[in-house]
Structure formats: structure tokens, C-alpha cells
Amino acid sequence: MAELTTRTYFDHAATTPVHPAVLEAVTDVLKNSYGNPSSFYREGQTASHLLAEARATIARLIGASDASEIIFTASGSEADNHAIKGVCEAYAGKGRHLITSTVEHHAVLHTMQHMEKQGFEVTYLDVDRTGQVDPDAVRQAIRPDTILVSIMTANNEIGTINPIREIGAVCREKGVLFHTDAVQALGAIPFDASDLQVDLASFSAHKLYAPKGIGALYVRRGIRLGRLIDGGAQERNRRAGTENVAFAVGFAKALGLAVDHMEENRVRLTAMRDRLIEGLRSIPHTKLNGHPTKRLPNNVNVSFEFIEGESILLLLDAKGYMCSSGSACTSGSLDPSHVLLAIGMPHEVAHGSLRVTLGHGNTPADIERFLADVPAIIKRLRDISPLYADYAKGNIRNLISEASNDDTLLETSYAI
């Protein structure tokens, strides 16, 4: 197919392109420092030193008190798995109750389900209509046998930011360990593990312009943790396997850049985000999903009534836009996104969701071009939708208000 359209990447929550400076740092290590950090001779020690530096940088930038609190992993998912399974293994003697929320990433939810099969009990806290967890609900759910609370810092689909500091305070007061999946938050909003009173936190480098294949788990000093991978004594005996020095260096470099430019990026992205939200909400029967203000600077998630998400993605793709959706067809199951359902969206509306996540390469001109293209795509799909035809004929009532900038859910299903 002839590629004449400009390609615009609007899916930065899925992954990000590698920053040129990060690529250079990674390539430099791969070219010049191939040694195994565990080796005795000089080349090994050079690698070991680079790894230690990267670890210290990341520790400092996430508010750890010591570099030893950082365990490098292969992904954010591994960090989530390690945090939950590792705590369960080490603290099962104290209790077998875990607390999490219904909107967590599958790396947390499926790990929780795994622990249930191992005889642990899990409380899944509901979230409010914006996707936030109530710290009081955490307090009420904590029991004498609770060993871990795991609540994400910011949601990957709807961008909602949780009151992590308040939840951290509750957990600290109650003497329960607190883990947060900070994969989407790191580099986008300030994250300080000590300040937030977080005991464990998961990170992934490829969400902040570093390569895929490396993540990290912060584990506050003094916390015991079972191992996921047995073998050598790497990572202070907590994760076996020869360290990915080059990517660790790239991760540190990327995090440094993200933190250095956080404020300017936040201002730039928030302006584009809010312009995008405003423009999309002017389309009739469109609703913003998530929190209006306590959301990641780069996240837009809306539902268009009467149409289905994958169709929207295909038409956007044909116009050169790379976005994502929480529809069943894009999740590979029959149910739409568990996050959208958890914030009270009817299935009918969750199927028509669109997520746009902005990043470094996007400009205000991209946003205006997108806003100029989207209404025709929505109209085109509504014109072939029998639901829209039924609505137009007055056979069914709409679920989302027709008015611009009105997120009211009028009904929860199409009454016959």
C-alpha cells in the first residue's frame, strides 16, 4: 500500500520510541563495555561500575534512600509479579490477605488471581466514576492478616492518578506493606517513594523513551522478598541472571531526561491534552473517561456512542493516526476493557472508547489535524450503525448526552 499519509504516533502509553540520547548511551555500552559485571577482570568491573551508576541514578530519581533498593527486571510486568509473589512468599507466615483495585494492570490482577489459587485471599477495591481508589476504602479493607496493598499510581487506560500518598500513609499506619505499579507515572509526574510512603514500586523503561526489555522494582530496605528467578547471586541475590547493563544505563539516562524536563513536558502535554479533550467532547454523544484533572498529562480517553472502537482505530490508522481502544475486539475477548467497566461505563459505551496518549513527537498542529479528521470518521461509522439509526428514529434513547462537553451518563443500557 502506498504510504502517502503522515504517520502520527498517539499511543505513548503502549510504548515510546527510544530517545536518541538514550540510544547513544545504550549503544556505547554495547560497543565498549561488553563485560559481565560478575567477572573479576577489568572489563567485568567496568560493566559492574556502569550498572552501579545506573542503579544509583534511578534510586536517587525515584526517591529511594539507597541504590540497593533497586532491583532491575526485564519488564514492568516482572516487577509487579516479583513484588506480589515475593511478598507473599516472604510474609505468608504473617497473613494471607491481599488488597488491590479492580482497575489494576493485568500484570497485577492476574498475579493476584494466581495467588488466590495458592490459597491467598484477595480484596478487589472498587473505584469511583473517575477511576480513583478511596484511601478510606483501603483502611476499611485492611485486616489483621493483610500483608500487602497494591494500588497503581496512574492508570494506563484512563490516566487517572490515585491518591498514593494518602494510601501510603494508611498502609504505614496500619503496618501493611504497600506496592504501587508506577509504570505509567514514572517520568510523567513526580514520584518519590520515600515521600509517598511506598514500600515497593514497579517501573518500566520503555514507557519513558528507553528500550523495551528492562524495568525495575523498588523494594524499601528491610523488606524481605521471595525470588522469582533462581540461579546466580545477581541483584543482591534477589534476581538471578546476567544483568542487562546497556539497557540499565539507557533506563537511567532516560529517567534523567524525563525528570530534568518534567515540568516543561507537563505544561506542553497538558495543553495539548486539554485541547484534544475539548475538541473531541464537542462531538455529540461523546464522553470523557477518567478524571478531568487528576490524570496523566498525556492521556485522553473518550467514548463515542453508537460505534465500536476497532472500527474507529482502523479508520484512524488509514488516516495515519496510531491510537488504541478498550473495545472487546481490540482486547481480544468478548468483554470491553475491565477499567472502563469498573468506572461504571455500560458495555455499549465501553466498546466505543478511544485512547490517545501523547508524547515527545506530537505537536499542537498534530492535535488540530486530528481534530479536523475525527468528526468525519465518527459520522461515517454512525451513518452505518443500526444503533444510531434507531436513536435517530426515536426507537432507543441515547446513553451519552448529545450536548458538547457533557459527560453525563443518561442511561445504563438501551431500553427496548
Partner 1 sequence: MQYSEKVMDHFMNPRNVGEIDDASASGTVGNPRCGDIMKVDLKIVDNIIVDAKFKTFGCGSAIATSSMATEMIKGKHIDEALRLTNQAVASALDGLPPIKLHCSLLAEQAVKKALLEYYREHDLLTDENRPLFKVVDDDAHDHGEETID
Our finding on whether 394 is near partner 1 (CB under 8 A) is: no
Our finding on whether 203 is near partner 1 (CB under 8 A) is: no
Minimum CB distance to partner 1, residue 42 (Å): 49
Q: Residues 332, 394, 408, 415: which binds partner 1 (CB under 8 A)?
A: 332
Q: Determine contact, residues 262/297, Cβ cutoff 8 Å.
A: no
The verdict on whether 329 is a catalytic residue reads yes
Our finding on whether 319 is near partner 1 (CB under 8 A) is: no
Our finding on whether 308 is near partner 1 (CB under 8 A) is: yes
Q: Residues 384, 402, 405, 410: which binds partner 1 (CB under 8 A)?
A: 384
The pair phi, psi for residue 183, each rounded to 5°, is -60, -45
Binding footprint of partner 1, residue count (CB under 8 A): 29
Q: Residues 287, 291, 351, 355: which binds partner 1 (CB under 8 A)?
A: 351
Minimum CB distance to partner 1, residue 130 (Å): 23
Query: In whole angstroms, what is the distance from residue 278 CA to residue 407 CA?
Result: 12
Cβ neighbours of residue 159 under 8 Å, at least 6 residues apart? 13, 184, 290, 291, 295, 296, 298, 299, 300, 301, 357
Q: Determine contact, residues 127/100, Cβ cutoff 8 Å.
A: no
Minimum CB distance to partner 1, residue 339 (Å): 16
Query: In whole angstroms, what is the distance from residue 261 CA to residue 21 CA?
Result: 14
Our finding on whether 411 is near partner 1 (CB under 8 A) is: no
Our finding on whether 310 is near partner 1 (CB under 8 A) is: yes
Q: Select the span of 27-35, 40-48, 210-218, 305-313 touching partner 1 (CB under 8 A).
A: 305-313
Report which of 302, 308, 309 is spatially closest to residue 285, judged by C-alpha positions.
Answer: 302
Q: Select the span of 106-114, 150-158, 180-188, 343-351 touching partner 1 (CB under 8 A).
A: 343-351
Our finding on whether 130 is near partner 1 (CB under 8 A) is: no
Query: In whole angstroms, what is the distance from residue 247 CA to residue 263 CA?
Result: 25
Minimum CB distance to partner 1, residue 313 (Å): 8
Q: Calculate ∠ Cα 76-350-123, nearest 5°.
A: 55
State which residue, 53 or 310, has the beta carbon closest to partner 1.
Answer: 310
State which residue, 222 or 386, has the beta carbon closest to partner 1.
Answer: 386
Sign of CA dihedral 209, 75, 100, 353: positive
Query: In whole angstroms, what is the distance from residue 209 CA to residue 248 CA?
Result: 13
Sheet-wide strand order for 70-73: 70-73, 215-219, 200-204, 177-181, 146-150, 97-101, 121-125
Q: Determine contact, residues 316/135, Cβ cutoff 8 Å.
A: no
Active-site pick, 88, 171, 323, 329 = 329
Our finding on whether 330 is near partner 1 (CB under 8 A) is: yes
CB atoms within 10 A of CB 246: 25
State which residue, 301 or 327, has the beta carbon closest to partner 1.
Answer: 327
Our finding on whether 398 is near partner 1 (CB under 8 A) is: no
The pair phi, psi for residue 132, each rounded to 5°, is -90, 145
Q: Select the span of 41-49, 100-108, 361-369, 381-389 touching partner 1 (CB under 8 A).
A: 381-389
Our finding on whether 314 is near partner 1 (CB under 8 A) is: yes
Q: Residues 383, 395, 402, 404: which binds partner 1 (CB under 8 A)?
A: 383
Our finding on whether 233 is near partner 1 (CB under 8 A) is: no
- In the chain, % helix, strand, coil (3-state, to 5) comes to 45, 15, 40
Query: In whole angstroms, what is the distance from residue 413 CA to residue 189 CA?
Result: 36
- Annotated catalytic residues are 329
Interacting residues with partner 1 (CB under 8 A): 306-311, 314-315, 318, 327-330, 332, 334, 336, 346-348, 351, 383-389, 413-414
